[in-house]
């Protein structure tokens, strides 16, 4: 195995990802995301042809991450379109989560070698990695839960998926700091200013709040014995806290979602009826 950060290391990574791409391209050669990934992998391979001393590890990591995001997007759509019906669907979900976690691991690996230059992921890429992992787990839990009428046979596995999914979404929502409003910062649109001050930078952030609140609701409604087990230790190594309090996290996410949709985003098509129903359920619960 080549040393992390070396040209040989990145050549190996690019080769393995290209092989994964080739299998998918054989299924859908004209897919837009796969074509984008192919172009990115070509750029990464060209970069790895340069001299070792001039290799820009950060640039390699950014390109590698973009290719991963495009390739896994295609794979995720196959799973979602197939309603996760295949027997190995859960295994495929876990595999995609591992692949989407790799860029962070590579950055940490490179920095542990104490290189003169600190290697880091662009904040928007990191935010996207968190979102994609959280959204994938949300879609899996939603699809499987609805199909089973929430009569789940393996509640522990389901609860693990919910826990990790919420953790990724919370990290996504915390990737960027809210915009601090002051007299020196001028906004023509007061609603936009309010959203930015709350850390809401796009529709995806609003959707992440709803997903987060909904997953917390599912965890307490369908996976806890009579609502007692409101805390669960997460095995997600990226999660910074020892316990996840579904009631607290869910309430905060739904509160901000409702505030955003009925305030700054009022009249723009966001529905809060379901969020209010779940919020009411969570607020009536008591922690054990």
| CA nearest to 222, candidates 152, 130, 142, 166 | 152
Residue 64: which of 117, 105, 24, 116 has the closest Cα?
A: 105
Residue 152 dihedral angles phi and psi, to the nearest 5°: -85, 130
More confident residue, 173 or 1: 173
pLDDT at 238 exceeding the cut of 50: no
pLDDT, tens digit, for every residue of 184-200? 555 667 877 888 777 77
* Whether the predicted pLDDT of 8 surpasses 90: no
Token reading at 239: 């999660």
Task: Report whether pLDDT(250) > 80.
Answer: yes
Residue with token string 């999660």: 239
Residue 166 has pLDDT above 60, yes or no: yes
Strands (E) in the chain, as ranges, are 231-233, 243-245
Where in the chain are the domains?
Answer: 1-121, 151-288
CA 233 – CA 163 distance, rounded (Å):
8
Q: What percent of the chain has pLDDT over 90?
A: 57
Q: Which residue has the tokens 């579904």?
A: 246
pLDDT at res. 187: 63
Across 6-15, 58-67, 130-139, 183-192, the highest mean pLDDT is recorded for: 130-139
Could you report the per-residue pLDDT of 34-45, keeping only the tens digit for each? 999 999 999 998
- Report phi then psi at 186, rounded to 5: -110, 130
Report the distance separating Cα 126 and Cα 128, nearest Å: 5
User: What average pLDDT does the chain have?
Assistant: 85
SS3 for 244?
Answer: strand
Map tokens 């409604």 to a residue. 221
Alpha-carbon torsion (99, 104, 106, 109), positive or negative: negative
Could you tell me which residues come within 8 angstroms of residue 118 by beta carbon, excluding any fewer than 6 positions away? Answer: 111
Residue 211 has pLDDT above 80, yes or no: yes
pLDDT in tens, 84-143: 999 899 999 999 999 999 999 888 877 766 555 556 788 999 999 999 999 999 999 999
What pLDDT score does 149 carry?
87
Q: What is the pTM of this model?
A: 0.89
Given CA atoms 12, 54, 62, 162 in this order, what sign does their dihedral have?
Answer: positive
pLDDT band at 205 (very low <50, low <70, confident <90, very high): very high
Helices (H), the chain: 7-25, 32-47, 57-81, 89-112, 123-147, 155-173, 190-197, 203-222, 246-262, 273-284
Q: What percent of the chain has pLDDT over 70?
A: 84
| Residue 5 confidence (pLDDT) above 70 | no
**Predicted local distance difference test score (pLDDT) of residue 57:** 84
Dist CA 219 CA 160 (whole Å): 9
Whether 179 has a pLDDT exceeding 80, the answer reads: no
255-277: pLDDT as tens digits: 999 999 999 898 888 999 999 99
Looking at residue 227, its pLDDT comes to: 36
Query: Phi and psi of 86, rounded to 5°?
Result: -65, 150
């Amino acid at each position: 195995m080549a040393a992390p950060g070396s040209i040989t290391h990145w050549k190996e990574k690019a080769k393995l990802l290209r092989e994964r791409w080739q299998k998918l391209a054989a299924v859908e050669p004209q897919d837009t995301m796969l074509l984008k990934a192919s172009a990115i992998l070509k750029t990464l391979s060209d970069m790895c042809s340069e001299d070792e001393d001039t290799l820009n590890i950060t640039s390699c990591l950014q390109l590698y991450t973009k290719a991963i995001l495009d390739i896994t997007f295609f794979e995720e759509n196959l799973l979602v379109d197939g309603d996760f019906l295949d027997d190995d669907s859960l295994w495929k979900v876990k595999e995609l989560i591992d692949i989407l976690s790799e860029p962070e691991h590579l950055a940490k690996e490179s920095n542990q070698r104490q290189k003169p230059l600190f290697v880091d992921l662009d904040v928007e890429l990191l935010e996207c990695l968190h979102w994609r992992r959280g959204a994938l787990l949300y879609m899996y839990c939603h699809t499987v839960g609805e199909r089973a009428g929430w009569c789940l046979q393996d509640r522990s596995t389901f609860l693990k998926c919910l826990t990790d999914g919420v953790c990724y979404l919370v990290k996504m929502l915390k990737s960027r700091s809210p915009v601090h409003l002051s007299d020196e910062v001028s906004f023509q649109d007061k609603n936009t200013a309010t959203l930015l001050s709350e850390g809401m930078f796009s529709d995806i952030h609003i959707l992440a709040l709803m997903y987060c609140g909904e997953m917390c609701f599912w965890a307490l409604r369908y996976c806890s014995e009579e609502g007692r087990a409101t805390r669960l230790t997460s095995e997600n190594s990226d999660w910074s806290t020892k316990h996840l309090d579904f009631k607290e996290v869910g309430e905060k996410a739904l509160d901000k979602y409702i505030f955003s949709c009925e305030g700054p985003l009022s009249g723009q098509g966001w529905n809060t009826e379901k969020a209010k129903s779940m919020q009411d359920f969570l607020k009536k619960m008591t922690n054990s």
